[in-house]
Every structure is written in structure tokens, then in C-alpha cells.
Amino acid sequence: MKRNSSEPIRITEVCLRDGSHAVAHQFTVEQVSTITRALDEAGVHDIEVSHGDGLGGSTIQYGRSLVDEMKLIEAAVAACTQARIAVLLLPGIGTVQELKQAHALGAGLVRVATHVTEADVSAQHLYAARELGMEALGFLMMAHSAPVEVLVEQARLMESYGAQAVYVTDSAGALLPEQVRERVKALRGALSCEIGFHAHNNLSLAVANTLIAIEEGATRIDGSVRCLGAGAGNTQTEALVAVLDRMGVDLGIDLYKLMDLAEDKVAPVMHRVPEINKGSLAMGYAGVYSSFLLHAERAGKRFGVDPRDILLELGRRKAVGGQEDLIVDVAASLSRSS
């Protein structure tokens, strides 16, 4: 593979964060410890652990966690001998105080996530992370929903606040391959920091899009073992590692160990199998935030409305992460008009 970067590729495993959406945030300490230990032994570089909506996400609006996420972070840190534990923080949900608490427990990396047009709200959190000595990365969500020039402008803001990498985050799994190429190439040409890519598989493009991102210079890559994540899941880590190995890219990750933990440790904890079904496909088609799926299904059942209609209407309204309360309003409105 001809890559547009000489930096090594680092994999951030998100099954214990993005995968939290798929299990309704019901991870136990034992599950997190077991999976983290296996990921660490396989050589995965960074492992993200927090509520699906990041630090502080355990609320009525986003879904209550079974176990306080700080206990899960503490357990994950204790289970690692080489991997770093990462956390996600969405300003307005998580706070600097929670970031400090996670750092004190041993988290060494934070991704500060904002909507693609709202990078300015990340400043205090990125500054705080750098002051704590954490690696601080920017995460521009719903990257399909803004023109490339806006994405570049917002990424430059994050870099100016101290972000050591900025991610093109395909939260809806809506980006097409050439759109990924265009966005990563533009950031690579505009920034001095590393570029990251986070995919969802709602249109069955996660691995392909990730390979294009790597080819264009992305070096911070997200994957999820067994595809455990919101919607149809993320780029499947073990599949990506296998493909990259076939292409001559050695990540230092043990493929057999990844395969084993996917089947023996992650599969048994899955409440539902992330797959491309009518709901997740509708999300990718409509360009809707992947964590909306379970909320839309519940609202559809409550109001007797097809969840796909809810998702398509949310797409028309350009709903973004953090607007989960809008899902019920849309379902009620569709029910009244039917």
C-alpha cells in the first residue's frame, strides 16, 4: 500500500465505548476487564473506555450506565500492561472535572468530540488535557454534513487549541469513498498534526473507507472488535488488521488473538449483533447519527411509527448528536400526521 504519510498507524479500539451504545450502556466491570486484558495482550495500541456518549453521558437522555464509567476506566487501566486507555469527551456532556478524574485513574488519551461546525467549544477541554499531560485529539463528528472547506477550517481551530490529531468522524456511516478521500486529503494538506478516521458500517463501507483514509495519510484509525458499535457498528478491527497485513502493513497486532477475543469474549456480551439491517441502512442513507438507532426504534414502537420514517425525518432536519430528545418529538409528529 502506498501511503501519504510516514507516521506509524495507531489503532484505537472503540468496542468498549462506541460498543456501549449497542449494549445499552450495560457493560460490567468484569466484562471491561476481560476484554481490555485480551486487547492489551493482542497488542492493540489504545483502548477507549467510557459511556457511548463520552464522559458524563450516563443520563436519562442518553441512557443510564449499569456501572459508573469511572469504575470501568479504573478496571481497564488495571488490566493493561502496554495499551493506553482513552476516553471520549463531548463538551456540554462531559466536563473538565470529569476529564481530571479519568486522568487521575490512569487514562492517558482523550478525544474531544464536537459537531463538525462547532470546534470552538473544544478549546477549554483540549487545553486542559494538554495541561494534564494527556494526549489530546480532536474529533469532528458528522463529517459528511459540512463542505470540505468548513471541515478544514474547524480542524485548524482544533489544532490551534493543541489537538495532536484531528479525526474525520463519519458518525452516520454516510460518507462515500471519494468523499473520504477528499476530506482526508484536504486535512493532510492543511494541518501539521496527525489525521484520524472513524467509520461506521451503515452503508457497508467502513473497511473500504478506512483503507482510503490510510492511503491519503490518516494515521489514527478506529476499529471495533466484532464490529461492536452503534448502528451497523464500526470498522471491524480484526478484518482491518487482516486486510492491512495482506497489503504488507504490519501494525504489531496479533491477528489470531484478535480473532479469538472477538469470538470468545466480545460476542457473548452483545445484546444485539450490529449488522446492516433496515434500521442501520436507513441511518447511513439518511445521514443520521449512528447512536440514534435504538432511540428511534423505541420511539417507533411507542408511537406506532416506522423507525425508518423517523430516521429519514431526522436526516431532513439535520439532527446532530445531543438532540436525542428530538427523536420522540419527530415520532409523535409523524404519528399525528399518519
Residue at which a domain ends, from 233, 268, 303: 268
Same domain, 142 and 45: yes
Instruction: State whether the Cα torsion 45-49-55-61 is positive or negative.
Output: positive
Same domain, 258 and 295: no
Active-site residues: which are they?
Answer: 21
Same domain, 210 and 296: no
Residue at which a domain ends, from 268, 303, 320: 268
Average pLDDT, the chain: 95
> What pLDDT, in 10s, does the model give residues 89-133?
999 999 999 999 999 999 999 999 999 999 999 999 999 999 999
CA-to-CA separations, 249 to 1, 144, 253, 327, in angstroms, rounded:
7, 28, 11, 42
Same domain, 250 and 175: yes
183 known ligand binder: no
What is residue 273's predicted lDDT score, i.e. its pLDDT?
86
> What pLDDT, in 10s, does the model give residues 210-236?
999 999 999 999 999 999 999 999 999
Same domain, 263 and 303: no
Flag whether 285 is in a domain.
no
Same domain, 255 and 307: no
pLDDT band at 3; cut points 50, 70, 90: confident
CB-based contact 14:50 (threshold 8 Å): no
Same domain, 150 and 44: yes
pLDDT band at 153; cut points 50, 70, 90: very high
CA-to-CA separations, 226 to 195, 258, 260, 281, 299, in angstroms, rounded:
24, 9, 10, 18, 27
Q: Is the pLDDT of residue 1 over 80?
A: no
Flag whether 275 is in a domain.
no
Same domain, 24 and 112: yes
Same domain, 264 and 295: no
Same domain, 111 and 183: yes
Q: How many domains does the chain have?
A: 2
Flag whether 106 is in a domain.
yes
Flag whether 273 is in a domain.
no
Residue at which a domain ends, from 268, 299, 320: 268
Flag whether 42 is in a domain.
yes
161 known ligand binder: no
pLDDT band at 61; cut points 50, 70, 90: confident
198 known ligand binder: yes
25 known ligand binder: no
pTM listed for this prediction? 0.93
Any idea what the Cα angle at residue 252 is, between residues 251 and 258, rounded to 5°? 90
Query: Structural domain of residue 301, as residue ranges?
Result: 291-337
SS3 letters for the chain?
CCCCCCCCCEEEECCCCHHHHHCCCCCCHHHHHHHHHHHHHHCCCEEECCCCCCCCCCECCCECCCCCHHHHHHHHHHHCCCCEEEEEECECCECHHHHHHHHHCCCCEEEEEEECCCHHHHHHHHHHHHHHCCEEEEEEECHHHCCHHHHHHHHHHHHHCCCCEEEEECCCCCCCHHHHHHHHHHHHHHCCCEEEEECECCCCCHHHHHHHHHHCCCCEEEEEHHHCCCCCCECEHHHHHHHHHHCCCCCCCCHHHHHHHHHHHHHHHCCCCCCCCHHHHHHHHHCCCCCHHHHHHHHHHHHCCCHHHHHHHHHHCCCCCCCCHHHHHHHHHHHHHC
Q: What is the CATH number of the domain that holds 17?
A: 3.20.20.70
Q: Is the pLDDT of residue 321 over 80?
A: no
What is residue 267's predicted lDDT score, i.e. its pLDDT?
95
Same domain, 260 and 305: no
Chain centre distance of CA 78: 23
Flag whether 278 is in a domain.
no
Flag whether 284 is in a domain.
no
115 known ligand binder: no
Q: Which of 129, 76, 82 is nearest to 106 (CA)?
A: 76
Flag whether 276 is in a domain.
no
Q: Is the pLDDT of residue 271 over 90?
A: no
What is residue 6's predicted lDDT score, i.e. its pLDDT?
80
Same domain, 314 and 243: no
289 known ligand binder: yes
Rg, C-alpha atoms of the chain: 18
